[in-house]
Each structure stands twice: as structure tokens, then as C-alpha cells.
Structure 1
Amino acid sequence: MKKILLGLLLQVPVLAFAQFSLKGEFSAASQNKKLYFIHIQNNAEVIDSAVVNNGKFSFNLDLKEPSVAVLLLQHEGNALKDKGPKDVYRFFIEPGNATLTAKDSIAQAKVNGLTIFKEDVAYKTATQASESKLIALNKEFAALAPEKKAKQETIESFQGRYLNLLEERKAQIINFIKANPQSYISLYAFNQDLGIDDMEYSQAESLFSGLQDKVKKYALAAVIKQKLDIAKVTGIGAMATDFEEKTPEGIPLKLSSYKGQYVLLDFWASWCGPCRKENPFVVSAYEKYKDKGFTILGVSIDTDRNAWQKAIKTDNLMWAQLIDSTTEISKIYGIDAIPKNFLIDPSGKIVAKNLRGGALEDKLKEIFDKK
């Protein structure tokens, strides 16, 4: 059985192939159950299936390069369509012969036979310390009494600790990539876990350049290269690209007209729930720092001008607003989701991105309160 399944794996082009073989063994309790193997083939996500007979199964497929795969064990009903918990094992694959062993749960499977399996273990080991601390922090916060969770000082304390742990994890990922330039795991971690969008371009570009040539030929590398091309223009440290659009009153307005002050370039829309939830934080920051050299330029991707103008009034957005009617501004700044913002300094340089919640006010406090 083969079936296209969109959204479970990253789509990448597949052109020339080598063989990948997976032989598996289950306990007796798992016999005669259906197993689905979700992988990439001919530039599409595909599902192969097999039945576990006499405790064994096998899959064989053509594979151009390393990728991600998912095994899904059907215990009852339809594992692909039924809602609720699923017995899933997600792992990396590459051309070669692999073996898998499991008892009653595919989620607890063990794989052997390929170098990429060892590299995956090494990556998890490299990031285990920070991952464990993040889990512990979440449990600590969840265990607090409701009244303590609601206190601003508690929230700020946990936010600070959380951000510090993310930085610790980021450093661990960077160290792994530098130490393993030959590994697809490094490429995957670069794309999925590192947060290219929030890195300084020079650091991200240098890290990518350090990967071995064979790794930079993989299809996923092309995805990263596109992100780096955008980061070169919109990354921290880059000079913000100028643009011009008319205000609702028909007055031409350029981003460069804000040079000499800190400006938050804020992309949003009236229909965007997360954007509307962010607006009170943005309003608060504006009120506190508007007289110290800070302002905001809103860029909406709305198509309904009435809804847009109503949202501006409802949310009390008392700064200049533009509609990106041609989507040219969004293309320049690589906007593929909102809310998204860029903090630009008086010289026109991007100094921070995606400042959500209290992070915007924290950054402005760092800038203005030390002057």
C-alpha cells in the first residue's frame, strides 16, 4: 500500500537513488499488526505498509540521501485516521541496511546498522543537559500555586531562566555542528533546532560554510541556503532594507524616514489572533518609550481595510500603519508567518527580531535605561 500523506515530513526533492533496507523484529504480542513506514519518495511523502508476521517485518526502498522517517504501529482501528495517542517511532535514515527491534511499543524501538543512528544518539547526548533542565523548569512552574504563577515577578523570573536555557541549548547545538560537519544530523539540527531566523547572519553563514561539501549538496541544504539568503537581508546586524508605501491618507511613507530613532517594524493583521494578543504588550512598550527615541511602524497584510482600521482603533495602535497591498514589503523581509517584528536602531541596523510578550519592553529597557 502506498498513499500520499502531506504534512508529516519535510518535503525535499529526490532525484537519484540508492537502496535502504529495514528489517525488524517484534515480540509475539505484536504479531499480525499493521505497520506503516512514512518516508519521502519522488518528492512526495509516501506511506508503505507491512504486516508483522512471526514477529518480523521488512521494508525496502530507494533513497537518494539521508532523511527523516516515521514508523507507525496500528494496535487497534485505523492508525492513520483515528484520533488519540499513536504508537510512533521517528528516526533518521540513509542508504544502507538497518535493523530494528521492539517489544510491544514501536515508540520504544531500537535501531542499528547505520552511521546516522550513532550520530543521532551523539546529538541527543550533546543536548541532553539543557533539554533536561528545560523539562525540569516546566515542571517547576506547573507545580506552583495559581496565585504565584500569576505574579509578574514569578513570570519574569521563569522567562529569564527559560531564555538562558535556550541560549545554553543553542551553544550545545552549535558545538555539535562544528564537531560533526560530515553529518546529516548537523544539517537537520541547523534547520530545525538552531533558530536561524534569530541568529546573527555572520555566525549562521560561518557555521553553514563549515559543513562538508557532501552535506551542502543535500536537498535540505538548499532550504537552509534560502533562509540564509533572507537572513543576509533581514538578520540581526543587517541594515534594514528601505521601502515606501502610502498611508491610509495617501501620504507616501518610507522606512528610512525613521532614521535617528529606534523603530519597531511590526508585521500583523486584524484577523491574526496571536497578533492581537501581542498588541497590548506593544502598546505598553510604546507608551513607556515613545518620548525617549522609540517609535513603531505597523505593516499589515490585511485585505479588508475596514477590519484593519477597526482593529487599529480597538487595540489603540497610536502609530503609523501601512497595508502591504502588493506584498512587496513582506517579500523583502521574508514574512511567512505573523506576528513578526524587527527592532531597528537609529543607524538603520536590525538589532533584534521577534520580540514577543515582555521581551520588547525588556529590550527597550536595556537600550534606554542605561543611557
Structure 2
Amino acid sequence: MKNIFSLLIVCTFISCKENLTNKTKAQQSFNLTGTINGAYSDYIYLNYGNVKDSVKVLNNSFKFNGKVEKPTQGWLNLKPDPDANVAWLYIENSDIIIQADYDKKRHNGKTLNFLEINNVKGSYSAKIQNEYKEFYQANKNKENFKALLYEKLKSFIKINKNHPFSGTILSEIALINPVLTKKELLQLYSKIDTTQQNKSDLEMFKMGIANLDKYGIKKPFLEFSLPNAKNENVDIKSFSGKITLVDFWASWCVPCRIKHPELIKLKEKFLDTNFDIVSVSIDDNKKSWIEAVEKDNLTWTNLIDIDKKVNDELKIQSIPFNYLIDENGIVLGVNLSSIEIERIVSEKASR
């Protein structure tokens, strides 16, 4: 799945857009040049749209040329293709200069060539992505973040209604990180030029809106029953009367495992309250799941969704992912950070 932070400093948008957009209009093709920091001298691959191109890296440098009708998300990867990681970037008709790092890393039992882009110049797309990321990181833990995000997106989309990144942002906020209301999302969606957006993003957005109608904030959470390590079915309704964090993860998911110490701290902080945690794994290997539960010291209720029926019903597209539900099974928040969870639980506990 694409990552937009892969996840908006408004005062810079107008001037940047004028300069780079005018240049893009005058230039009808792109020149992508790059340097790689590291001992790599084999082929590098560029994929965008229906195009797949490759060149040999010589003296740590490479160059691609081509033409796109609009900014198009693509990626670079090294050998062995397609088993290396991918480095996402937008291709647009301009002179794009990138700097990247090369390294070998173990992933899923294999040693792969990893390429990480650390700097992009000459790309309006990269600039607005970085500005949005900076805004998000600087404000995501503020109590009024949702209001700040909505106002920034109104300004952002007003300037960038034709750019596919606008659709990518809205699709991910609707489906993967639903921090805005359905009403707010639809208002923002009405301002983008849908003819310039990626079809997959528009489909994700519609799926997210439908999911907000079913399992969004203030909606009753999904009722389900899943087995624990002893193969005993546990009903989510058995947590009625508690504020419950339902956390979706898997043993192979590194970001999920990294978050577990944060969940342990949350559990300890609210040990004397009616707060609880239920972890739901989407592992298809029960042994790996049990070993990870023990290694990560997850002392709360752990369930496994091998058939992914619960995961699919909730339309979870990436993990880690969570729902915070109240004593009556009503959704308080979706895919919250530990700071947001702590804030909500603290407010509920003080009442």
C-alpha cells in the first residue's frame, strides 16, 4: 500500500505552485537523475503507469527520461527485481534530482537490496508531500489536531485540486486514518478535480466513507467472536462495561511489534480503571502468533483472526490498526496514537 507520509505549510504553497507549475507547463517531458550513496553498480528500475524502464548505475549515478500526462506516482527499485524494496516518488514533467542511500537488509528471511530516497529537488509533488508531512508530524498530537487538519486541507486542496496527491490524502484519511468526519471528508472531496485523481484512490475513498457509516466514531462496533491460544472463543461483548482498545496486528508486522511497549505502558497506567486491551492477530501461522505474544509480553486478551473475516468486515487495509470503544461498545476513535488513547481514557476516567 502506498504511504503518503509516505503522510502543508500554507504560506509556501502559492509561491511554490506558481514557480513549479509554470515550469511544468513549459516542459513536456521529465529528466530524472539520481545519485546513490553505497556500493551498488547494477540495474535500477523505474515504474510508473504502464511503463517499466531500467538503466545501469554507473559511478553511483543514473538517469531516466520520459513523459507523463499528469503527476504519476511510481517507484524505483534495485535488483533482484521484483524482490527488492520499492522507493515511492511522483514522476512529473520537470528536471527531478534525487539522492538515495543503498543498503542490504534482511526481510522475511531474505537479504534484499534496499533503496531509500532521502532528498528530491525539482519536483513540486515532492515539495507538497514534504510540507504535508511536516505539518502532520508537528501537529498530530495536539488536542485540536482534527480542526487544524481540516482547515489545512481546505487550503491545500484549493491550491492542489488537480494534483493526484490530494486524492491520495483523502483516500487514506477516509479508510486508513479516519480522523475527520464523514461530512468533513465529503466537503473536501467536493473540491478536488476527480478526473485528475487515481481511480484506486477514489475507490478507497468511497470504501472509507461507507465504512464510516458502519463502524465510524459514535457507531456501534462490530460484534465478533474469535479464538484465543487455547482455541476458546471469546466474544467482544464480554468486554461490555469497559473502555476497550481493539488492536489489530501480526507477528510479522515490524511496526506492530514496535508499538507493543506503548500498549504495555497504557495498560499499566490505567490498571486501576475500567480500561482493557484486546489484541487481534491476522497471522495465518498460530505458532508464530503465540511465540510473538509471549516474547512481547502481551498479558491481556489475545485473539487470532486466521480467516481474516473480522479484518475484512472492518476493511482494514494496513496494520497496526485499532478501534477504541466505550463501555457500551460504541466507537470512540479509529486508528488512534497512544497519546490520543491516553487522552481519551484519562478524560473518561476523570468523569
TM-score class, shorter-chain normalisation, is 0.5 to 0.7
> For residues 7 and 60 of structure 1, do their structure 2 counterparts lie closer, same or farther at Cα, with a shift above 3 Å needed?
same
2:72 paired residue number = 67
Query: SS at 1:22's partner residue?
Result: coil
Equivalent in 155, 160, 174 of residue 154 of structure 2: 174
Inter-partner Cα distance in structure 2 for 1:249 and 1:104:
52
TM-score, scaled to structure 2:
0.60
1:162 and 1:174, CA in 2 relative to 1: closer, same or farther beyond 3 A?
Answer: same
Change (3 A) 1:259 1:179: farther
Q: Residue 242 of structure 1 contacts residue 255 of structure 1 at CA under 8 Å; is this kept in 2?
A: yes
> Deviation string for 1:80-110 (max 9, x for gaps)?
669xxxxx996565xxxx6x46899995448
Aligned residues of 1:302 and 1:323 also touching (Cα < 8 A): yes
Partner letter of residue 49 of structure 2?
Answer: I
Between the aligned partners of 1:104 and 1:344, the Cα distance in structure 2 is: 44
Is the 8 Å Cα contact of residues 158 and 191 (structure 2) preserved in structure 1? yes
Alpha-carbon distance, 1:25 to partner: 8.8
Using the TM superposition, name which of 322-331 and 304-313 deviates more: 304-313
Distance, in Å, in 2 between the alignment partners of 1:89 and 1:287 is 39
Q: Measured at CA, do residues 252 and 107 of structure 1 come closer, stay the same or move farther in structure 2, by a change above 3 Å? A: closer
**CA 1:233–1:172 in structure 2 vs 1: closer, same or farther (change >3 Å)?**
same
Deviation at 1:129, TM superposition (A): 9.4
Rounded to whole Å, the distance in 2 between the matches of 1:133 and 1:223 is 21
The aligned residue for residue 263 of structure 2 is 282
Is the counterpart of residue 364 in structure 1 residue 342 in structure 2? Answer: no
Aligned counterparts of 1:364 and 1:8: Cα–Cα separation in 2:
29
CA distance in 2, matches of 1:101, 1:267: 42
Q: 1:354 and 2:332 equivalent? A: no
CA 251–176 in structure 1, closer or farther in 2 if over 3 Å, else same: same
- Partner SS, residue 360 of structure 1: helix
Write out aligned runs for 1:170-319 (5 A).
Answer: 171-177=151-157, 181=161, 184-191=164-171, 197-202=177-182, 203-212=184-193, 214-215=195-196, 218-319=199-300
Q: Does structure 2 retain, via aligned residues, the 8 Å contact 1:266–1:297?
A: yes
Contact 1:342–1:350 (Cα < 8 Å) also in 2? yes
Match of 2:28 in 1: 22
* Equivalent position SS for 2:316: coil
Correspondence for 2:52: 46
Decide whether the 8 Å contact of 2:217 with 2:331 is kept in 1.
Answer: yes
Pairwise CA distance, 1:315: 3.8
Summarize deviations over 1:101-144 as a string: whole Å, max 9, x none.
Answer: 6899995448xxxxxx7xx69x949x95983896xx7xxxxxxx
Spell out the pairing of 1:89-168 with structure 2 (5 A cutoff): 91=90, 93=92, 100=94, 108-109=121-122, 124=128, 131=134, 163-164=141-142, 168=148
When residues 206 and 260 of structure 1 are mapped into structure 2, their CA distance, relative to the original with a 3 A threshold, is farther
Q: Measure the CA separation in 2 of the matches of 1:293 and 1:103.
A: 54
Amino acid across the alignment from 2:293: I
Tell me: CA distance 1:242–1:216, structure 2 relative to 1, closer, same or farther (3 Å). farther
Give the match's secondary structure for 1:198. coil
| TM-score (norm: length of structure 1) | 0.57
Q: Which runs of 5+ in 1 are unaligned?
A: 1-5, 10-20, 27-34, 50-56, 73-78, 83-87, 111-116, 138-160
Q: Do the aligned partners of 1:261 and 1:295 also contact (CA within 8 Å) in 2? A: yes
Cα distance 1:238–1:201, how it changes in 2: closer, same or farther (>3 A)?
Answer: farther
Q: Which amino acid aligns with 2:320?
A: P
Equivalent pair of 1:248/1:322 in contact (CA under 8 Å): yes
SS in 1 for 2:49: strand
CA distance in 2, matches of 1:198, 1:360: 15
Distance 1:226 1:179 in 2: 26
- Separation in 2 of the partners of 1:304 and 1:282? 23
Change in CA separation of 1:232 and 1:80 when aligned onto 2, cut-off 3 Å = same
Give 3-state SS (helix, strand or coil) of 1:297's partner: strand
> Shift of the alpha carbon at 1:354?
3.0
Over the matched positions of the two proteins, sequence identity in percent amounts to: 22
The question of 1:323 aligning with 2:304 is answered yes
Residues 66 and 305 (structure 1 numbering): CA distance in 2 closer, same or farther, change over 3 Å? closer
SS of residue in 2 equivalent to 1:308: helix
Gaps of 5+ in 2: 5-26, 33-43, 56-63, 81-86, 100-118
Larger Rg: 1
